[in-house]
Structure 1
Amino acid sequence: MHVYTFFSVHEWLFHPTLERLRDRYGARRFSGFVWGEDQAAFLRAGSIDYAPLLVFTRDVLPRLAHAPSADLDALRRRERRYGVSIHRMLWAERHLLQRRTYDEALQLAEALFDLIERTLDEARPDCIFSEDVSCLASYIHFVVARDRGIPFVRVGGARMPGLLSVYDGAPQQWNFTRARFAELRERGLTDAERRLASTFVEEFRARPQRPSGMAQRAKLPFASSDDRRRLAVLRDKYRTDPDNPTLVAPGRSLRHRALRLARSQAAARGSLFERPVPGERFVLFPIHFQPEASTLVQAPYYLDQAALIDDLSKSLPVGHRLYVKEHLTNRGRRPLSFYRRIRETLGVRLLGPDEDTFALIRDAAAVAVITGTVGWEGLLLGKPVVSFGEVFFNMHPGVYRAGRLPKDEWYGLFERAIYGHHHDEELLLQFVAAIQQTSQPGAMRSPTTFPSVLTPERFDQLADAIVWGLREGGHGDLITETPSAQARAT
């Protein structure tokens, strides 16, 4: 089996995982894509020979300096062949568009297409593995792999503690979960399936918990021990390859932290945030963390959240306020002018990041999200949920898909969600059971921020999840279990 890996920023996590695919599941060839020489140096020092190993700062950046203008006809042909707007793929990018003109962005897209198409055609990997599609380069990998019929297994958080989502369909389209959900709706749940799903729902309702890692990301100290450790890692990586677009100069990182602290303190002094009013009817809209794939890839038409808040305020039934709650991890990230604009919007109350999200969900007439986890939490708490982007819980029939409607029809949708919604507990249990049955044990987080994922157990779980995804997708013939894998399974 030849495994190609889009490493993103997870080389410390993915490399030992691939060693387990080699030692236990018969993987014999490896190749992949990394952003910088800092990542490439780490991989070269390991026990796997990645051939080829594409390095963005070596294989793409140098050719852009003297590249001719992009061949627009060739890019149009790619759009038609792959069925995705290249502009949309460009908007998925959070790093590479800074200080680039439109023409330079098209040159970049063409260079990435040329390199990735040529590499996949020549190397002919049996499968590709990565996290969720999260940027221009991973988006191009996805559309090219789909066109060539190469299975692309992606692994991410399953929104349940200790579980990984695994799928090989379109971005954030959990196709294995969708198929199982349809099956469970058709045949109904067994007693054992219902008990397991009910236990999860009941425990969540009794003791709702934030997504794993949220508490860590919400902290804003000036310089904790974790901050100093991350800064040292960043310094070493940046020295190796300062052109790596996913890295930030250490000095700039410190200035950004100081700015966040100043903004957070100014927001507190300026009383920008209000409090909920007892007895007031409202729809809850949580501000999403940005930049992140949850909006860049899954909801590129809703990146301007202040504009969306304006539109939502025009769409609610009379007597309902729009409660806009800031995200815990956004503390200090936005200019104060962003909050002032929201506060000036008719019918809006702006709530701070420390308000109790679960209490707000319970009291809300409905929950509106772009793609955020609050939508999933609203489903679990039996609330009507309105979504705008592409997200896994859209497959639940009880979710109101505002993103599929013109804005003039949003009022009618909110009217139905608030006054005509009927919660179906059995349908919710079927959906939860489908996720439980198509998720795998493990954790998928940035090793730099969460070094706790760098354990042998996590590497084992991630390798097992990839193998499960290949088998579930009908590619079990690629896998050859070694005696060590068979013994471990036993």
Structure 2
Amino acid sequence: MKRVFFMECAGPVWRTVAERCMAEAQWQPVLWTAAGGDAKPVAELCPEAIFLTGPDAALGLHVPSWPLPALDARLLADLAPAESIALHMMDRMDPACGSGFPHDARRRHYHHLLRYWMGALNALNPDLIIFSISPHIVFDYILMALARHRGIPTIMFERIGMPGWVFPMRDFEHGSPQLRSALSSQPLLPVERVPEAFRTWLLASIDGQSAVPANFQKKLERYKLASNAEMPSMLRALAHEFKRAAALLRKNGLSPAPNSYLRSLRYPHGRCGPMETLASRLKGVLAKRRLMRFHDALTKADGAEKYALLALHYQPERATVPMGAQFGDQLLIVDLLAKALPAGWKLYVKEHPWQLQSFGRGEVQRTEAFYAEIAAHPNVILLPRGASTAALVRGAQAVATVTGSVGWDALCAGVPVLLFGAAWYRDCPGAHQITSYAGLCEALGQIGAGHKPEREGLAAFCAALSGVCVPGVLEPELERTEHLSHEDAASAMAAALINLDSLEEDMQ
């Protein structure tokens, strides 16, 4: 019997996945985190498992039945790289536009979560930890760091640009060795030999079908926006927030919304209540409008013949933290590129269309200083928000991103990519993984010499990808998987988990 944690595994597909793993591989769930609506069905499936909601776990609200161990300097030093990323990740919990969760409070919260999950590992002694996707809501990332420190195996999935397909991996930093092995044995392939579903998707991507992530597509529909670039009026934005607050009051009364990650400014710093949440969101709307005016005053059009395009990510999101690690601070990327670009090249920087959108929370990771620092580089141009990303990609010498879909769009357009994070397409020929200044200079040298992605390399990558991917759904509320059969997804995902776990055991 293998004792297993299921982390942020929400929805009926994940419960069926667990049920199959229990039946076919004798896995026993001993701890499960998901949305509150999963509590009852998870209890029916595995009554002995401890259940926590993700927001409660992130805020540290659950009172454990196990003792909390002491922390020491050696452990904290060993986990120091994870600490800096976990503290950055806490931006999503800040209710005051970036000023309501100061560093000292974040450090203490990190220590509290570290004790909690050390105690959980001591008490429950898991043999394996399953994450639905790369951990990114603080507590799960801390658990992953502890698991690595203790040598506890982990498995997680990653989704690709084609909806309804995912692949398993041990951790997001290293990706899939199986994919790399398949690609190394056949680095070039005619498009006609790619399996049909992946070939159709690849050809559509080459023809210019943008890989806009499903979570942003769903946001556009929810807020009735025609495109990411559409900006609602101030009146509509404020009206939306009051309507949202009224709906939450009807649903929860004066109690905090149970799915909220916002940490109250008031001691003992539990979850924000409805009035504090409304105040936070109204302040955010005003802050984003102020930032928009500042940003727009710094932008300018440019006609450089040679340029690299940096398409900034929306933040806070897992796409940069933790997927970009230290490069979750995108100013580091701007500075590296500004110093490494060949003479005569410009760096074009374009803000993500959702970052200053009234309905997002982009104000917690943007300031006037952020935009001013970008514009201060003499060879960097901050572009207008309305500039066409597709046209900019096609005209670029290279496209830089952490993990964004714009990188895949660029590869399919024959444009090299400078990749600063753990994107699902990181192993595709034409994607240059950047971790250092020297590596960036080397990649730019190759690009300057004419190295570009080739269709046969893209085809080989897609063929290799098809060999490791399975039908799957990871975050049902964020994905376009209506076409996917529940049973097919659960069966394929369970088999992928069991097979990868067995493969690791055979290698030991």
| TM superposition shift of 1:173 | 1.1
| Correspondent of 1:339 among 371, 375, 392 | 371
Contact 2:351–2:385, Cα closer than 8 Å, also in 1: yes
Q: Match of 1:324?
A: 349
State the one-letter code of the partner of 2:331: A
1:464 maps onto 2:491 in alignment: yes
Q: Match of 1:49?
A: 47
Q: Which has the higher mean CA deviation after the structures are superposed, 101-110 or 169-178?
A: 101-110
In structure 2, relative to structure 1, the CA distance for the partners of 1:322 and 1:34 (3 Å cut) is: same
Contact 1:158–1:435, Cα closer than 8 Å, also in 2: no
Deviations 1:38-97 (A, max 9, x none): 578555665441424466422469978xx86x3223545xx3xxx884535644642679
Q: Alpha carbon RMSD of aligned pairs, Å? A: 4.3
State the one-letter code of the partner of 1:331: L
Contact 2:3–2:30, Cα closer than 8 Å, also in 1: yes
1:254 maps onto 2:288 in alignment: no
| TM superposition shift of 1:324 | 0.7
Deviations 1:15-39 (A, max 9, x none): 6445653797576732224389x57
Q: Match of 2:328?
A: 303
Contact 1:443–1:458, Cα closer than 8 Å, also in 2: no
Q: Match of 1:429?
A: 459
Contact 1:396–1:431, Cα closer than 8 Å, also in 2: yes
| TM superposition shift of 1:185 | 3.3
| Correspondent of 1:443 among 469, 473, 485 | 473
Q: Match of 1:376?
A: 408
In structure 2, relative to structure 1, the CA distance for the partners of 1:21 and 1:352 (3 Å cut) is: farther
Q: Which has the higher mean CA deviation after the structures are superposed, 145-154 or 391-400?
A: 145-154
Q: Match of 1:414?
A: 444
Q: Distance in 2 between matches of 1:349 and 1:240?
A: 43
| TM superposition shift of 1:383 | 0.8
Q: Distance in 2 between matches of 1:143 and 1:251?
A: 35
Q: Which has the higher mean CA deviation after the structures are superposed, 20-29 or 308-317?
A: 20-29
Contact 1:238–1:244, Cα closer than 8 Å, also in 2: no
State the one-letter code of the partner of 1:211: P
| TM superposition shift of 1:357 | 1.9
Q: TM-score, normalised by structure 1?
A: 0.76
Q: Distance in 2 between matches of 1:42 and 1:28?
A: 20
What's the secondary structure of 2:202's corresponding residue? Answer: helix
| Correspondent of 1:164 among 137, 142, 166 | 166
Q: Distance in 1 between matches of 2:141 and 2:185?
A: 30
Q: Which has the higher mean CA deviation after the structures are superposed, 389-398 or 283-292?
A: 389-398
| TM superposition shift of 1:284 | 0.3
In structure 2, relative to structure 1, the CA distance for the partners of 1:196 and 1:61 (3 Å cut) is: same
State the one-letter code of the partner of 1:238: P
What's the secondary structure of 1:392's corresponding residue? Answer: coil
In structure 2, relative to structure 1, the CA distance for the partners of 1:180 and 1:238 (3 Å cut) is: farther
Q: Match of 1:204?
A: 205
Q: TM-score, normalised by structure 2?
A: 0.74
Q: Distance in 1 between matches of 2:489 and 2:401?
A: 30
Contact 1:2–1:127, Cα closer than 8 Å, also in 2: no
State the one-letter code of the partner of 1:203: A
Q: Distance in 1 between matches of 2:441 and 2:398?
A: 13
Deviations 1:334-370 (A, max 9, x none): 3344334323332222224443222211111111122
Q: Distance in 2 between matches of 1:58 and 1:85?
A: 26
Q: Match of 1:484?
A: none
Q: Distance in 2 between matches of 1:255 and 1:181?
A: 51
Give matches, 1:55-454, under 5 Å: 56-59=60-63, 70-75=71-76, 79=78, 85-88=81-84, 90-91=86-87, 93-94=89-90, 98-99=101-102, 100-101=104-105, 104=108, 107-108=111-112, 110-121=114-125, 124-125=126-127, 128-145=130-147, 151-171=153-173, 173-185=175-187, 192-193=193-194, 197-209=198-210, 210-217=212-219, 222=237, 231=248, 235=252, 238=256, 249-266=273-290, 271-272=296-297, 274=299, 276-278=301-303, 280-332=305-357, 333=362, 334-403=366-435, 405=436, 407=437, 410-411=440-441, 413-445=443-475, 447=477, 450=478
State the one-letter code of the partner of 1:316: L
Q: Distance in 1 between matches of 2:88 and 2:336?
A: 23
Contact 2:393–2:410, Cα closer than 8 Å, also in 1: yes
Q: Distance in 2 between matches of 1:244 and 1:5?
A: 25
Contact 2:191–2:199, Cα closer than 8 Å, also in 1: no
What's the secondary structure of 1:30's corresponding residue? Answer: strand
Q: Distance in 2 between matches of 1:360 and 1:136?
A: 35
Q: Distance in 2 between matches of 1:344 and 1:262?
A: 25
Deviations 1:425-473 (A, max 9, x none): 22221111112232222333363xx4976x7956435423432322441
The count of residues paired between Structure 1 and Structure 2 equals 460
State the one-letter code of the partner of 2:487: D
- Percent sequence identity over matched residues? 21
Q: Distance in 2 between matches of 1:232 and 1:176?
A: 50
In structure 2, relative to structure 1, the CA distance for the partners of 1:230 and 1:30 (3 Å cut) is: farther
